[in-house]
Amino acid sequence: MSRNAQWKGVGFGVSALVLAVALVLSNGEKKLSPDAEDPDAFAEQALEALRAADPTGELKYDPERFLIQRYSPDGGLGMSLFLGNFHREYLASPPEQRGALLARLGRAGVLPEAPATYAQARPRLMLVVRARDTFEQFSLESGEPAPVSWRPLGEVLAEALVQDTPDAMRYVPPEELSRWGITYEQARADALANLRRLDPVPLRSLTLGACGLFTNDSYAASRLFLDDVVRGCEVRGDPVVVVPNRDTLLITGSEDATGLLTVAEAAQEGVTAPRPVDGTALRLTADGWRPFLPEPGSPSRIILERLAFVSRMRGYQEQTARLRQQQEQEGGKVFVAGYLPEQDDQGHFYSRTVWSNEGESLLPRTDVILFVDAALGPDAPPVATVPWDLVVRDAGTLLMPELGVYPERYRVQGFPSKEQLQRWNAEAAKP
């Protein structure tokens, strides 16, 4: 059985389930999909806007990654402009505002020049918050560290240094910090000072013990670094935040069931807005921000689980596509296993992946592993269905972490014995 047949044999209903997840998160209300208008047609408009703003250099559109790359006259890569956020914003805008958005897109493609000195750079330094896989994907595509000065935040997010201008944000490369003789920590402190100098935005009370910060400056998410903002919301327990998009920061307390439900419901709406970040709730601990879920039975639990699940699924789907493309281009024979969503009778979403005895594979970290014997044919059911934790406990070197990959993946080069699979099946079946 081929690797594609493996995917088809156990990946039944994946597209329908992904759609179902999106509908659940929007309370069943139909949302306008980014595919409601042809992305390639939008890319043509984007190319026209970029040429109008700066006719120099060559522009190339990559439909697979939905981005436009600008090359300088000497042939060097000048910039990469990802179109996803602009496209979502375009679709959400009234027709009369779309021209202005395209003009802004064109200006965003003209990156400001790098300041010659740190004294020139410091007044425009800012700190942004993005999904962590935004920067991890740079390394996956190029094999080199991302050309961005960034650090992980709360496991699933990232902070990054940018040079802010009226028309564009320019990520600050590590080489620039070295040229200026400035450490990341020094630049970060100055960026935070600039963040504090932004016009203050009042917290809006969502309910007793839950607040929201809503801006139009792309820095609402960044304000989770400002203690006076986070502590400005009186909460029960440790502060808990969600940053569903760049212009929304939601705050409540870890011991406030009503506040958590209010924030979870607001986050459902926030992740559908343009320029989404992540739906995972984070709790402020002694070790910094960490992913958080309330106790089972809490009214907000299932919503926050779904928000975190959808964010994780999105990251894995993008990673899977890029790794498979990389294998194809390099002529590799490693099977990149998919992250398969599923839903139980109680409405909880969980993830599965396929471990086949046919060659080497890269598995995502999922809740359940389906073990497939290729010799039984494409229509045969899995020979075992085992929770991930049971497999990790006993698999040893059969299941090894793949270093330097995010979201995490594991390389498998063999297959468990028939006796081991039988034991796992029996143990998994116990109530």
Taking alpha carbons only, the member of 85, 82, 87 closest to residue 62 is 82
Both tokens of 82, joined, read 């990802």
CA 247, CA 139: separation in Å to the nearest integer?
27
**Whole-number percent of the chain with pLDDT over 70:** 86
> What is the mean pLDDT of the segment spanning 403-427?
93
> What is the mean pLDDT of the segment spanning 374-400?
93
Q: Residue 29: is its pLDDT beyond 50?
A: no
Collapsing DSSP to helix, strand or coil, 410 comes out as strand
Output the pLDDT for position 7. 40
Q: Residue 6: is its pLDDT beyond 70?
A: no
Output the pLDDT for position 8. 40
Q: Residue 273: is its pLDDT beyond 70?
A: yes
Per-residue confidence band for 430, with pLDDT thresholds at 50, 70 and 90 = confident
Q: Residue 382: is its pLDDT beyond 90?
A: yes
Contact of 403 with 391, CB cutoff 8 Å: no
Contact of 399 with 360, CB cutoff 8 Å: no
Mean pLDDT of the chain: 86
Per-residue confidence band for 52, with pLDDT thresholds at 50, 70 and 90 = confident
> What is the mean pLDDT of the segment spanning 82-111?
83
CA 289, CA 304: separation in Å to the nearest integer?
16
Give every CB contact of residue 265 below 8 A, 6+ residues apart in sequence: 303
Output the pLDDT for position 32. 35
Q: What's this model's pTM, rounded to 2 decimal places? A: 0.81
Q: Residue 74: is its pLDDT beyond 50?
A: yes
Residue 280 CB-half CA count within 13 A: 23
> What is the mean pLDDT of the segment spanning 298-321?
94
Both tokens of 60, joined, read 């190339």
Q: Which class for 229: exposed (0-12), middle (13-18), buried (19 or more C-beta within 10 A)?
A: buried
| Low-confidence winner among 2-16, 29-43, 87-101, 344-358 (lowest mean pLDDT) | 2-16
pLDDT, tens digit, for every residue of 109-123?
Answer: 666 677 889 999 999
> What is the mean pLDDT of the segment spanning 307-322?
93
| Low-confidence winner among 168-177, 246-255, 261-270, 330-339 (lowest mean pLDDT) | 168-177
Cα 42 to the center of its chain, rounded Å = 23
| Bond into 294 cis (ω within 30) | no
Collapsing DSSP to helix, strand or coil, 102 comes out as helix
Per-residue confidence band for 34, with pLDDT thresholds at 50, 70 and 90 = very low
Distances (CA, A) of 111 to 53, 134, 313: 11, 19, 32
Output the pLDDT for position 30. 32
Q: Residue 4: is its pLDDT beyond 80?
A: no
Both tokens of 255, joined, read 């011991």
Q: What DSSP assignment string belongs to 320-348?
A: HHHHHHHHHHHT---EE---EEEE-TTS-
Output the pLDDT for position 151. 95
CA 31, CA 255: separation in Å to the nearest integer?
32
> What is the mean pLDDT of the segment spanning 376-391?
93
Per-residue confidence band for 79, with pLDDT thresholds at 50, 70 and 90 = low
pLDDT, tens digit, for every residue of 190-211?
Answer: 999 999 999 999 999 999 999 9
| Low-confidence winner among 51-55, 131-135, 245-249 (lowest mean pLDDT) | 51-55
